[in-house]
Structures are given as structure tokens and as C-alpha cells.
């Protein structure tokens, strides 16, 4: 009581210093809270849009895969075939932490027959399942989305514009008229003679059994979220993918190649990149015929049970609230325990740079906040030390009439902690309030890919939550204690004699 | 019994390259219930001596005993507790805690000693009574900066007496007071001295108040003179 009374009066008595320290604590707490809200908001954005909309939380790939970054690398080496999908899926279905999962393929394809080389990162899936599992992340701008069993390609609207620039033609979904509303400025200027195409001849590379295939464009699409970021991704039906990459025949030769042959293949790959005429081997007419024959009579090796077909990876979505690290560990155990040749990756590992950039931003924010704290600690420490010296008479007097050092400690701490609680508390409160107000409004990333990536979506919503507030209060406490330590030492050292000698 | 006992106490102050010998071997003994005055010219070492007796300064050499116990080897904490429970000190110049009112300043040491089983009400009553006695009934809730030098000195006197200490040390307690108030305060001290057997040691320049003392110690150049 006595301590608090004296502390409070001292705060009022030394208003100038109280205000300096208070403002620093206030600003520090405010900036920290807003930074925190930004970081948490971004994390949430990434979680919502990238994880729940495309990658899933956990990615299962073949244990033959050497690199973790399996999803987004452009011109990536083909992924190994993930064996035993039937057993994997049976196990996943039994896990209580798994919300859903979907098997996928991923590979790089070359667009054939154009003026230059053009690559696309393409994902093969049963598109209906894809839309169901990821909550309809893809929408059609023109044409009609794929349904299971349908053959064809979905091309992103941005990718269409790029291809027009590079190859000179404008893609229109098969069976649809040119939609003039969606033309880019460049394409519009070429009207009425704008070259159009409704199919693309694609060659898979990196796989020994890959063939060329001409696929009809079913739709021009966009991702509802992160479209700028994911514009180079095209999606095709799973069977066309397998066709291009030779998985039907490959299913029989899953066993690993001897190293010499692997090396040979690798050098062959380079040749593939170097000379364009290899691609012309698959003329569109033969491919079209081939396609007909596939429909009419699947080859013997293609007669496969859906669950046992060739995939590259499985995306697993967790139930809300499940801890990612724990789930990865459990899945790893599960696969190992059942002797499955599977490598279990978190979405962060599997997404490479995409996940890292948003991590980097969080690190930058944290470093900034720590720097800010450092400065705040130094300024507060300085001011408090000065205050302690100026109050030599007061402290010395108290000590002279019998106040122990502990009393000085409690008084000094009460003063600083009260200031910290009032001003720092106000900073956290106002920061939380700003985050709360801006959360529903959101901040648009515009057309910027980088911002979109940082925001984890087109719209950034600062989010704080109880954890953020608690963390803020803890950080404020740590800063206050760090700042008060040295001044407290100074104050405790003051003797009655110091006070007398002042006179 | 000797309440205060000093033997060959020396005190040196470093002053730049030289050393000031403020006390050069002081020995004295003060008995319980003594009312002692220390006199001597300015700079003779009165304040230094009182500070050493009052456990707020330590002797460079020699022995200091309070109630027969050697205090020169006490820890800071034991000295602090001794100041709180045994000694009341009235300083020559500064005295009060700026943020506390006159009454709160007087209450302060009592609030520090929680073991006395006094309720806050009793503490307040005791402080108010003492302030009344030193003639500050009207100024009780004023802060030190709202008081005159003499009034501040009187608050300090009340504070020194409030814990009923065995020893009261006063460094020129009447220097800032008019002779009338000075006399009044000395009378009160004397009364307490007779009533409670409180030992008083005070330094002064004022020959008028010497008559209250039952012993005079003369000090000159850091040495006792007879
Ligand atoms: N902190 C100090 N540092 C250096 N010298 C000091 C210090 N305190 C006192 N002195 C010196 O010690 C001597 C005794 O000082 P002291 O204050 O005890 O004298 P005093 O008798 O109380 O004088 P006054 O009557 O003027 O109050 C003086 O010469 C003084 O200058
Ligand atoms: Mg003096």
C-alpha cells in the first residue's frame, strides 16, 4: 500500500519522465501488437489459401524422392511414382486427424509446335475430387471445368496472356467462341486476325516413357485466391497426365533403374532441352488418333484399378485445430510402421520458396520488433537511471530512517511496472483494436505477386487473437524488466550518506 | 550502562589527492537517559561524529558500540534495521520525503516496522499527536515544499520521535528555528528524555539550549577537548 502510494505520487511528480517512458512503452507495445497482428494474419492467410486451397497440410511422396521441395519448382525434375496408393489411402482413411486427402501428379510439360520453347507446371488429378477436397479453389473464366473422367486441360487466364505474348496465339476453350471481353490489350490490338487455338500439344519431359499428347482446352480458369502467384499452374485430368508421362507403361517398370542408365537419361534430358525437333516427332494428328484409341480401347497396362494407379504425391488435409508437427510425426510413424515406401513432408517443406517467403517476412517483422525493443529498453533504461540519480535525496532519506534495500526495489519496480501497465497496456489495447477494426475490412494486395504471397492471399487481414495479446503482454513485461534492471541497481546503491553529501 | 560507546574512532575523507582527517581518534561513552550536547566550531567534525553514531557512516578506524554491540562489522541490512528500531535521526539540512505530506512523513518509519502491531489508525493518531506537539496541527497534510525550513525541521523531529527510539540524534536541530520554537522543542525532548529514558545526543552552536544538556562534549579539529 505504502509502496504503491509513493510510487504513484512519484509518477505524477516526475510527469516529464513518466511521459517519456510512457510514450516509448506505448509506441513499442502498439507497433509490436500491429506487427504481431500482421504476422499472424499472414500466417492465417497462407494457411487458408495455400494450404487449404492447394497444397494440403501434409504431402506424401515416394521415399525415393531426394528433395523436399516437390510442389512448385518450375521445370522440376519429374517426381518418382508413389507406390502402394491403395494401402496408403486405406490407412489415411482410418486416421482421426485427417480431414481429407487426394492423390495427385505433378510434372513439367513443354508446349509443342509454337515459335519458342514454353514450359508449364502441370498438375494431374481427378478434378471433381480436387475441387471437393480443396473447397473449389478454381473457377472457370471461360469454358467448363473438368469433371472426373473428362479429358482436357485447364489453362490459367494469366498463363493464356503469357502464351499469347510468347507463342502468338490466343487460347479459347474447345467448343467455345472467342470472348472479346477477356482479351488482353495486346490480343485486342490483333483483332480481327487474332490467331486462336483450342488445344495444346504437350510433351512431358524427364520421363523415359513420356509421349506427346494434344489436349483440348476445356476452360480458362483462375484461382479464387493467390491467382497471381499460381498463374503458371495448369491442371489436367489424371489420365492425360499419365499418358503424357508414360505412367501406364511405367507402372510395370517401377523398379529403380541402375545408376548408369539414370545418368544416361539425365544427359538425354539435356538433349531434349537443346533440340526442338524431338518434340515434332509427335505430330498433332497422330496424337489425336492416339487419343481416340485410348478412349476406344485402353491398353492392357492401363487397365488399372483407380486406387492402385500411378500418382506422384498425396495431399492430406488435417481437421481444424490439429497440430501440423504432431500430424506429420504421426503420419511418418504410420507409414513406417506399415512398411510403406513413403516420405512425409509438411506443406512448408514441400512448397519451398512459396512458404519460405512468408516465413521470411515474419522473421523481418520479428527482427524489426526486437530492434525496436532494444532501442526502447535503452531509452527507458537511460531515463530511469537519470531519475534514480536525481532522487538520491529521497532514496537516501528513506534508507536513513530505516527502509531496507528491498523497499527501494519494490517502490522502484512498482513505479515502472505501473507505467508499463498503463502505457504499454494502452498500446496493446489500441493495437488490438486497430487489428480488430481492420480484420473485416482487409487490405488488398492489388496485382502484386509479392504482396499476395506475403499476405497469403489477395486480401490481408490482420489477426491477433488471445495468443497474440498474451504474447504481447509477456513481451512488454520482459522489456520492462530488462529496462528497469540497471536503474534499479543504481537506486539500490544509494546510501543515506550520498543524500547528505548532496547538500 | 553505556548506550553509545566509541573508542579511538577515526574518520578520513579522501579529498582529491589529499585526505581530510575529520575525526582523529574520538573516544566517548554515553549512558542511557543522557542528554548530551556536542559543541564545536564549524568543520570540527560534529556532523561526522553523529553520522557514525547513527550508523549512516562508518568509521575508518576504531570501535563503535550501540547497546554494547559492535556495529562496525554489521551488514547493511542490520544497520538499516538498527536505524529503524533504535535510532531517531534529525539531520542538519535535508530531512523529508518530497512526495509525502507532513503527516505521512512522520508515519513512514512506523509503516516500515510492521511488527509493532499498530493499526493504521493508531499510527495516524500517533503521528498527528506528535505534529500537534511540535505546533504543526494546521500543516499536517502539506507537502515538504509547502513548508518553511523551520516547519520541515519540526516534521523531522516528530518523525525521529514517532518510533520511540532508544537513541535520538539531532544535528543542530534548532538551527532553522526561532528561539521560541527551539526552546519549545528542546523542552519536549527533555520531557521525553525524563519520561521514557530516551538518550539524546545533539550538536549545536546555540548556547541558549546548552542549559538543557546534562553533559557537554566539546570537539575541535576532530578531537575531543575537555
Ligand atoms: N564527504 C566529505 N568529504 C570530504 N570532506 C568532508 C566530508 N564531510 C565532511 N568533511 C570534512 O570533515 C570535516 C568535518 O566536517 P563536519 O561536517 O563533521 O563538521 P561540522 O562540525 O558538522 O561543521 P558545521 O558546524 O559547519 O556543520 C570538515 O573539515 C569537512 O570539510
Ligand atoms: Mg555539521
For residue B89, report the distance from its CA to the centre of ligand 1, in Å: 18
Rounded Cα gap, residues A230 and A227, in angstroms: 5
Q: Where are the domains of chain A?
A: 2-50+356-502, 58-255+299-321, 264-292
* Grid cell at residue A390: 536525481
| C-beta atoms of A394 and B98 within 8 A | yes
Q: Which of A115-119, A288-292, A455-459 has the highest mean pLDDT?
A: A115-119
Q: State the pLDDT at residue B113.
A: 86
* Optimal mutation site among A7, A390, A402, A495, interface B, most CBs of chain B within 10 A: A402
* Structure-model confidence comparison of residues A263 and A116, the more confident one: A116
Place of cell 499452374: A233
B85 chain-A contacts, CB cut-off 8 A: 402
Q: State the pLDDT at residue A447.
A: 65
Nearest residue (by CA) to ligand 1, atom 24, is B42
| C-beta atoms of A401 and B108 within 8 A | yes
Nearest residue (by CA) to ligand 1, atom 18, is B45
Pairing of strands A196-197, A170-171: parallel
* Grid cell at residue A366: 520479428
Q: Is A394 on the interface with B (CB under 8 A)?
A: yes
For residue B202, report the distance from its CA to the centre of ligand 2, in Å: 11
- Of A51, A71, A125, A94, which Cα lies nearest the Cα of A335? A94
Q: Which amino acids bring their CB within 6 angstroms of ligand 1? A: A 501; B 13, 15, 20, 22, 40, 42-48
Q: State the pLDDT at residue A453.
A: 64
For residue B92, report the distance from its CA to the centre of ligand 2, in Å: 7
Length of chain B: 226
**Which residues are registered as beta bridge partners of A220?**
A142, A155
Rounded Cα gap, residues A332 and A312, in angstroms: 17
Rounded Cα gap, residues A105 and A113, in angstroms: 24
| C-beta atoms of B94 and A497 within 8 A | no
Residues in CB range of B46: below 8 A, 6 or more apart: B38, B39, B40, B171, B172, B203, B219
Q: State the pLDDT at residue A359.
A: 73
| C-beta atoms of A503 and B159 within 8 A | no
Please, what is the angle between helix A405-419 and helix A2-13, to 10°?
60
* Structure-model confidence comparison of residues A491 and A67, the more confident one: A491
* Structure-model confidence comparison of residues A113 and A123, the more confident one: A123
Q: State the pLDDT at residue A259.
A: 52
Nearest-atom index, ligand 1, CA of B205? 25
Residues A89, A245, A218, A354: what is their CA dihedral angle, to the nearest 10 degrees?
70
For residues A392 and A494, the answer to whether their CB atoms sit within 8 Å is: yes
CA angle, A177 then A183 then A188, to 5°:
105
Rounded Cα gap, residues A106 and B23, in angstroms: 94
Q: What is the pLDDT of residues A206-245, one digit of tens each?
A: 777 778 899 999 999 999 887 877 888 899 999 899 888 8
Chain centroid offset of residue B65 CA = 16
Phi and psi (nearest 5°) for A495?
A: -110, 165
DSSP-derived secondary structure letter, A76: P
The HSE-up count of residue A113 (CA atoms within 13 Å, CB side) is 16
Rounded Cα gap, residues B165 and B161, in angstroms: 7
CB-nearest to A9 from B77, B99, B109 is B99
Distance from the B93 Cα atom to the nearest Cα atom in chain A, whole angstroms? 7
**pLDDT averaged over chain A?**
81
Residues in CB range of B124: below 8 A, 6 or more apart: B103, B107
Task: Say whether pLDDT at A377 is over 60.
Answer: yes
> What is the biggest distance separating any 2 CA atoms in chain B, rounded to whole angstroms?
54
* Grid cell at residue A136: 473449389
- Render A152-184 in DSSP notation, one character per residue: -EEEEHHHHHHHHHHHS-EE--TT----GGG--
Q: What is the pLDDT of residues A17-70, one digit of tens each?
A: 899 899 999 998 898 888 888 877 777 777 777 888 889 999 999 998 888 888
Percentage of the residues of chain A whose pLDDT score is greater than 90 = 38
For residues B155 and B95, the answer to whether their CB atoms sit within 8 Å is: yes
DSSP-derived secondary structure letter, A73: -
Is residue B138 classed exposed, middle or buried when 0-12, 13-18 and 19+ CB atoms within 10 A define those classes?
exposed
Q: Which of A176-180, A294-298, A308-312 has the lowest mean pLDDT?
A: A294-298
> Mean of the pLDDT values across residues A320-333?
92
| C-beta atoms of A398 and B91 within 8 A | no
Task: Say whether pLDDT at A291 is over 90.
Answer: no
Q: What is the pLDDT of residues A124-138, one digit of tens each?
A: 999 999 999 999 999
- Of A13, A4, A36, which Cα lies nearest the Cα of A391? A13
| C-beta atoms of A405 and B113 within 8 A | no
A17 chain-B contacts, CB cut-off 8 A: none
* Grid cell at residue A235: 491442371
Task: Say whether pLDDT at A305 is over 60.
Answer: no
Q: Is B89 on the interface with A (CB under 8 A)?
A: yes
CB-nearest to A10 from B51, B57, B99 is B99
DSSP-derived secondary structure letter, A67: -
Q: Residue A498 CA: which ligand is closest? A: 1
For residue B197, report the distance from its CA to the centre of ligand 2, in Å: 26
Is residue B135 classed exposed, middle or buried when 0-12, 13-18 and 19+ CB atoms within 10 A define those classes?
middle
Q: Nearest residue of A to residue B79 by CA position? A: A402
Q: Which of A331-345, B62-76, B93-107 has the lowest mean pLDDT?
A: B93-107
Q: Residue A500 CA: which ligand is closest? A: 1
Task: Say whether pLDDT at B175 is over 50.
Answer: yes
* Grid cell at residue A401: 530512517
For residues A46 and A355, the answer to whether their CB atoms sit within 8 Å is: yes
For residues B5 and B65, the answer to whether their CB atoms sit within 8 Å is: yes
> Mean of the pLDDT values across residues A101-109?
92
Q: State the pLDDT at residue A276.
A: 35
Rounded Cα gap, residues B48 and B40, in angstroms: 12
Rounded Cα gap, residues A122 and A105, in angstroms: 8
Length of chain A: 503
Q: How many helices (H) and strands (E) does chain A have?
A: 19, 14
Residues in CB range of A376: below 8 A, 6 or more apart: A24, A25, A27, A28, A479, A483
* Grid cell at residue A113: 509446335
> Mean of the pLDDT values across residues A471-475?
87
Rounded Cα gap, residues A197 and A466, in angstroms: 54
For residue A362, report the distance from its CA to the centre of ligand 2, in Å: 64
Nearest-atom index, ligand 1, CA of A500? 1
Task: Say whether pLDDT at A77 is over 90.
Answer: no
- Helix H, strand E, coil C: the string for A7-60 is HHHHHHHCHHHHHHHHHHHHHHHHHHHHHHHHHHHHHHHHHHHHHHHHHCCEEE
The HSE-up count of residue B165 (CA atoms within 13 Å, CB side) is 33
Distance from the A24 Cα atom to the nearest Cα atom in chain B, whole angstroms? 25
Extended beta strands in B141-214, E state: 167-171, 199-203
A495 chain-B contacts, CB cut-off 8 A: 56
Q: What is the pLDDT of residues A161-174, one digit of tens each?
A: 988 888 889 999 99
> Mean of the pLDDT values across residues B188-205?
89
Q: State the pLDDT at residue A69.
A: 85
For residues A224 and A138, the answer to whether their CB atoms sit within 8 Å is: yes
For residue A486, report the distance from its CA to the centre of ligand 2, in Å: 34
Nearest residue (by CA) to ligand 1, atom 1, is A501
> Mean of the pLDDT values across residues A451-463?
66
Chain B 90-119, CB below 8 Å of chain A: which residues?
91-100, 108-109, 111-113
A503 chain-B contacts, CB cut-off 8 A: 92-94
Nearest residue (by CA) to ligand 1, atom 3, is B13
Is residue B84 classed exposed, middle or buried when 0-12, 13-18 and 19+ CB atoms within 10 A define those classes?
buried
Chain A 397-436, CB below 8 Å of chain B: which residues?
397-405, 407
Q: What is the pLDDT of residues A400-438, one digit of tens each?
A: 999 999 999 999 999 999 999 999 999 999 988 888 887
Q: State the pLDDT at residue A495.
A: 92
Amino acid at each position: 500500500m505504502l509502496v504503491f502510494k509513493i510510487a504513484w505520487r512519484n509518477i505524477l511528480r516526475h510527469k516529464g519522465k513518466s511521459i517519456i517512458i510512457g510514450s516509448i512503452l506505448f509506441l513499442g507495445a502498439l507497433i509490436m501488437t500491429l506487427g504481431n497482428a500482421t504476422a499472424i494474419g499472414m500466417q492465417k492467410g497462407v494457411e487458408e489459401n495455400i494450404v487449404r486451397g492447394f497444397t494440403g497440410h501434409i504431402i506424401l511422396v515416394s521415399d525415393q524422392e531426394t528433395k523436399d521441395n516437390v510442389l512448385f519448382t518450375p521445370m522440376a525434375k519429374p517426381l518418382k511414382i508413389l507406390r502402394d496408393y491403395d494401402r496408403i489411402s486405406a490407412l489415411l482413411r482410418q486416421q482421426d486427424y485427417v480431414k481429407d486427402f487426394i492423390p495427385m501428379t505433378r510434372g513439367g510439360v513443354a508446349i509443342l509446335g509454337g515459335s519458342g520453347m514454353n514450359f508449364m507446371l502441370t498438375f494431374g488429378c481427378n478434378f471433381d475430387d480436387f475441387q471437393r477436397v480443396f473447397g473449389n479453389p478454381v473457377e472457370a473464366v471461360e469454358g467448363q471445368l473438368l469433371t472426373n473422367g473428362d479429358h482436357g486441360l485447364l489453362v490459367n487466364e494469366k498463363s493464356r496472356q503469357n502464351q499469347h505474348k510468347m507463342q502468338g496465339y490466343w487460347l479459347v476453350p474447345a467448343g467455345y467462341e472467342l470472348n472479346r471481353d477477356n482479351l488482353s490489350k495486346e490480343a485486342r490490338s490483333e483483332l480481327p486476325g487474332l490467331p486462336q487455338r483450342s488445344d495444346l500439344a504437350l510433351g512431358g519431359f524427364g520421363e523415359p516413357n513420356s509421349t506427346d499428347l494434344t489436349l483440348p482446352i476445356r476452360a480458362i480458369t483462375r484461382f479464387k485466391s493467390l491467382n497471381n502467384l499460381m498463374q503458371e499452374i495448369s491442371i489436367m485430368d489424371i489420365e492425360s497426365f499419365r499418358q503424357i508421362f508414360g505412367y501406364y507403361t511405367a507402372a510395370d517398370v517401377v523398379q529403380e533403374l541402375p545408376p548408369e542408365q539414370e545418368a544416361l537419361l539425365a544427359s538425354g534430358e539435356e538433349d531434349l532441352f537443346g533440340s526442338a525437333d524431338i518434340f515434332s516427332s509427335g505430330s498433332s494428328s497422330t496424337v489425336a488418333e492416339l487419343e481416340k484409341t485410348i478412349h476406344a480401347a485402353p491398353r492392357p497396362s492401363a487397365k488399372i484399378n483407380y486406387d492402385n494407379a500411378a500418382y506422384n504425391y498425396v495431399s492430406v488435409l488435417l481437421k481444424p485445430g490439429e497440430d501440423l508437427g504432431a500430424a506429420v510425426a504421426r503420419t511418418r510413424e504410420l507409414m513406417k510402421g506399415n512398411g510403406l515406401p513413403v516420405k512425409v513432408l509438411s506443406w512448408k517443406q514441400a512448397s519451398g520458396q512459396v512458404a519460405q517467403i512468408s516465413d521470411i517476412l515474419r522473421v523481418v517483422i520479428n527482427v524489426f520488433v526486437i530492434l525496436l525493443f532494444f532501442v526502447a529498453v535503452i531509452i527507458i533504461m537511460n531515463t530511469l537511471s537519470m531519475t534514480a540519480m536525481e532522487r538520491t535525496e529521497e532514496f537516501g532519506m528513506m534508507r536513513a530512517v530505516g527502509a531496507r534495500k528491498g523497499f527501494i526495489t519494490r517502490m522502484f519496480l512498482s513505479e515502472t511496472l505501473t507505467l508499463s501497465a498503463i502505457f504499454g497496456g494502452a498500446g496493446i489495447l489500441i493495437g488490438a483494436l486497430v487489428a480488430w477494426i481492420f480484420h473485416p475490412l482487409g487490405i488488398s494486395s492489388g496485382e502484386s505477386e509479392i504482396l499476395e504471397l506475403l499476405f497469403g492471399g489477395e486480401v490481408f487481414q490482420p489477426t491477433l487473437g488471445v495468443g497474440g495479446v498474451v504474447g504481447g503482454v509477456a513481451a512488454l513485461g520482459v522489456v520492462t524488466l530488462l529496462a528497469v534492471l540497471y536503474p534499479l541497481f543504481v537506486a539500490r546503491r544509494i546510501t543515506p550518506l550520498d543524500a547528505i553529501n548532496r547538500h | 550502562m553505556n548506550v553509545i560507546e566509541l573508542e579511538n574512532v577515526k574518520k578520513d575523507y579522501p579529498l582529491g589527492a589529499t585526505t581530510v582527517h575529520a575525526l582523529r581518534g574520538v573516544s566517548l561513552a554515553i549512558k542511557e537517559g543522557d542528554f548530551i550536547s556536542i559543541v564545536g566550531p564549524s568543520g570540527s567534525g560534529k556532523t561526522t561524529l553523529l553520522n557514525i553514531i547513527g550508523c549512516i557512516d562508518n568509521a575508518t578506524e576504531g570501535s563503535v558500540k550501540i547497546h554494547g554491540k559492535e556495529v562496525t562489522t554489521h551488514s547493511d541490512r542490520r544497520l538499516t534495521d538498527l536505524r529503524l528500531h533504535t535510532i531517531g535521526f534529525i539531520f542538519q539540512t535535508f530531512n523529508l520525503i518530497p512526495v509525502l505530506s507532513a503527516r505521512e512523513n512522520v508515519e513512514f518509519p512506523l509503516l516500515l516496522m510492521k511488527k509493532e502491531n499498530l493499526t493504521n489508525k493508531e499510527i495516524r493518531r500517533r503521528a498527528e499527536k506528535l505534529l500537534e506537539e511540535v505546533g504543526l496541527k494546521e500543516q499536517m497534510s502539506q507537502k515538504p515544499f509547502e513548508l518553511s525550513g523551520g516547519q520541515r525541521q519540526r516534521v523531522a523531529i516528530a518523525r525521529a520521535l514517532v518510533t520511540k527510539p532508544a537513541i535520538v540524534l539531532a544535528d543542530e536541530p534548532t538551527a532553522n528555528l526561532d528561539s521560541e520554537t527551539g526552546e519549545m522543542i528542546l523542552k519536549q525532548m527533555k520531557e521525553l528524555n525524563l519520561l521514557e529514558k530516551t538518550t539524546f545526543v545533539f550538536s549545536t552552536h546555540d548556547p541558549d539550549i546548552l542549559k538543557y544538556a546534562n553533559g557537554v562534549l566539546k570537539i575541535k579539529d576532530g578531537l575531543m577537548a575537555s
